[in-house]
């Protein structure tokens, strides 16, 4: 058996395999839910209800989707240019760290000045963290998969050290946690009384901007060209090294925004459990979205709904929340296979 590329895939061939992939993930989850002692239908309806069954649940899903949109965009931008940024987790924490440092009264500015400033510096922090690996890649050929992945651990340990030492909240009862942000440094809620903050809107704006950059600007054209065929891009006079570095700045900046949004909008302080792996989940989101910025929004909502829904379902049905991880992992694996099948057909020799 071998794979044969399809010149012009039909519409059905482009839509059917991804749809089957999602369906396949549900089938796998149903079998596992059964093994865990739950009734598959009750489990799925529990997930749906838990994710969107009430106003509270739906807002929780949107809140959970917010950092995933940012990290998903970060990964999508980088992967599109074949810059394998696995370090969105560390870049997220870089943005969060800057927010916690600048937002706790260090700068006596009013909110309209302070928030944009922190937001910009958080982006710079995330960008700086990916810039190093990108320089090593372009100058010395160091594999960015390794450097960005390992930086995650280094940076988390660094944040852990800061939270146990210089940044530790004196009023924190000994917990490794930074001091709370001053009110001027908090992203306000969209509607008073509801637990959804402006970070979500910022994420939607970011997705729209990335889409415009990709489709309408020379930078987007260059990033796509470098990703699609580096050699042809170089031959055509596209400055490949500069484009790779710009991609790194954009990608890292987007991941940094995730940290800013979480600390300033949701948590109000920096802790080590700020992100339950949003940087890594961003890879899942970007892949499910086929690296399209608007698809990232949809994929982030899907992933967030499953996480939030699974939490609620678990409380009601007694099926472990790990089911959510398995569902997403299965969805991703099936999706990778499905993407292959949209471009190739299997031929038997």
3-state SS of 111-122 is HHHHHHHHHHHH
Dist CA 181 CA 252 (whole Å): 23
Q: Which stretch binds other proteins (CB under 8 A): 211-219, 271-279, 285-293, 319-327?
A: 211-219
Applying CB under 8 A, the site for other proteins has a residue count of 20
Binder of other proteins out of 110, 170, 174, 237 (CB under 8 A):
237
Nearer to other proteins, 236 or 337 (CB): 236
Nearer to other proteins, 6 or 106 (CB): 6
Establish if 208 lies at the interface with other proteins (CB under 8 A): no
Report, in Å, the least distance between residue 33 CB and other proteins: 40
Closer CB to other proteins, 45 or 241, in the complex: 241
Identify which of residues 106 and 340 has a Cβ nearer to other proteins in the complex: 340
DSSP 8-state code for residue 198: T
When asked if residue 221 is in the footprint of other proteins (CB under 8 A), the reply is: yes
Q: Which residue in 105, 116, 239, 318 binds other proteins (CB under 8 A)?
A: 239
Q: Does 218 bind other proteins (CB under 8 A)?
A: yes
Q: Which of 10, 54, 160, 217 binds other proteins (CB under 8 A)?
A: 217
Of 15 and 236, which has the nearer Cβ to other proteins?
Answer: 236
* Residues 179-182: contacts with CB under 8 Å, at least 24 apart: 179/100, 179/104, 179/269, 180/104, 180/268, 180/269, 181/99, 181/100, 181/103, 181/104, 181/263, 181/264, 181/268, 181/269, 182/103, 182/104, 182/105
Out of 19, 27, 208, 232, the only residue in the binding site for other proteins (CB under 8 A) is 232
Between 105 and 239, whose beta carbon lies closer to other proteins? Answer: 239
DSSP 61-126: HHHHHHHHHHHHHHHHHHHHTT-----HHHHHHHHHHHHHHHTTTTS---HHHHHHHHHHHHHHHH
Does 35 sit near other proteins (CB under 8 A)?
A: no
Nearer to other proteins, 240 or 327 (CB): 240
Q: Please tell me whether residue 236 binds other proteins under the rule CB under 8 A.
A: yes
What are the angstrom distances between the C-alpha of 333 and each of 12, 22, 24, 65, 159? 20, 10, 10, 21, 32
Interface with other proteins, residue 106, by CB under 8 A: no
From residue 231, alpha-carbon distances to 222, 237, 245 in Å are: 13, 10, 17
Q: Confirm or reject binding of residue 235 to other proteins (CB under 8 A).
A: yes
Position 291 contacts other proteins (CB under 8 A): no
What is the DSSP track for 318-342?
---THHHHHHHHHHHHHHHHHHHHH
Copy the structure tokens of residue 30. 């149903």
Q: How far apart are CA 75 and CA 148, in angstroms?
A: 12
With CB under 8 A as the contact rule, the residue among 27, 228, 242, 329 that binds other proteins is 228
Binding mask 164-203 for other proteins (x = CB under 8 A): ----------------------------------------
Residues at the contact surface with other proteins, assessed by CB under 8 A: 7-8, 216-219, 221, 224-225, 228-229, 231-239
């Amino acid at each position: 058996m071998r794979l044969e590329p399809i010149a012009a895939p039909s519409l059905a061939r482009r839509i059917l395999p991804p749809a089957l992939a999602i369906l396949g993930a549900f089938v796998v989850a149903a079998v596992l839910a059964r093994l865990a002692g739950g009734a598959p239908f009750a489990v799925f309806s529990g997930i749906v209800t838990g994710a969107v069954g009430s106003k509270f649940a739906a807002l929780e899903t949107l809140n959970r989707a917010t950092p995933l949109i940012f990290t998903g965009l970060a990964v999508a931008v980088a992967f599109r240019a074949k810059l394998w940024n696995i370090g969105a987790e560390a870049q997220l924490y870089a943005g969060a760290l800057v927010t916690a440092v600048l937002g706790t009264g260090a700068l006596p500015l009013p909110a309209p000045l302070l928030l944009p400033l922190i937001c910009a510096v958080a982006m710079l922090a995330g960008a700086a963290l990916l810039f190093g690996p990108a320089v090593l890649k372009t100058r010395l050929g160091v594999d960015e998969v390794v450097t960005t992945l390992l930086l995650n651990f280094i940076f988390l340990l660094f944040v852990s050290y800061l939270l146990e030492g210089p940044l530790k909240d004196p009023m924190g009862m000994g917990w490794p946690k930074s001091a709370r942000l001053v009110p001027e440094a908090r992203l306000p809620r969209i509607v008073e009384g509801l637990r959804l903050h402006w970070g979500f809107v910022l994420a939607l704006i970011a997705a729209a901007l990335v889409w415009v950059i990709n489709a309408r600007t020379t930078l987007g054209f260059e990033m796509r060209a470098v990703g699609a065929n580096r050699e042809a891009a170089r031959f055509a006079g596209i400055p490949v090294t500069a484009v790779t570095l710009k991609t790194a700045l954009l990608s890292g900046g987007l991941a940094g925004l995730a940290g800013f949004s979480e600390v300033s909008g949701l948590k109000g302080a920096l802790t080590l459990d700020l992100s339950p792996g949003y940087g890594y989940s961003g890879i899942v989101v970007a892949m499910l979205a086929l690296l399209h910025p608007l698809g990232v929004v949809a994929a982030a909502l899907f992933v967030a709904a499953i996480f939030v829904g699974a939490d609620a379902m678990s409380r009601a049905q007694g099926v472990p929340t790990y089911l959510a991880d398995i569902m997403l992992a299965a969805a991703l694996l099936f999706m990778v296979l499905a993407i292959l099948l949209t471009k190739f057909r299997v031929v038997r020799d």
